[in-house]
Amino acid sequence: MSPEATFLRAFVESEERAILTHGHGMSAIEAGGFPGFARAFNNVIDPDRVGGAAAEGKPILGTVVYEVIDIRRDGDRYHAVYCDYRSLTAVEVGDQYSGVGSEPFGSARQLTFGADPALSLEQQRAPSKDQKGPARLPVNNVFGTWVATPNSEEMDEATTREWYPKCRKWAPGTPADWPRDDKPRPTPPPTLPPSPGWPPGSSA
What is the residue-level pLDDT of the chain in tens, covering all 204 positions? 899 999 999 999 999 999 888 888 999 999 999 999 999 999 898 888 888 665 566 778 899 999 999 999 999 999 999 999 988 888 888 888 887 766 777 889 999 999 999 999 999 999 999 999 999 999 999 999 999 999 899 888 898 899 999 998 888 888 777 777 778 888 888 889 999 999 987 544
Q: How far is CA 132 from CA 8, 31, 109, 197, 201, in A?
A: 14, 22, 23, 5, 12
- What one-letter code names the amino acid at 55? A
Q: How far is CA 141 from CA 19, 99, 105, 152, in A?
A: 19, 34, 32, 22
**How many other C-beta atoms are found inside a 10 Å radius of the C-beta of residue 175?**
10
Give dist(CA 150, CA 111) in Å, integer.
9
**How many other C-beta atoms are found inside a 10 Å radius of the C-beta of residue 53?**
18
Q: How many CA atoms lie within 13 A of 124 on its CB side?
A: 13
Give dist(CA 125, CA 204) in Å, integer.
12
Share of the chain residues as helix, strand and coil, in percent rounded to the nearest 5: 25, 25, 50
Q: What is the pTM of this model?
A: 0.90
Three-state secondary structure call for residue 140: coil
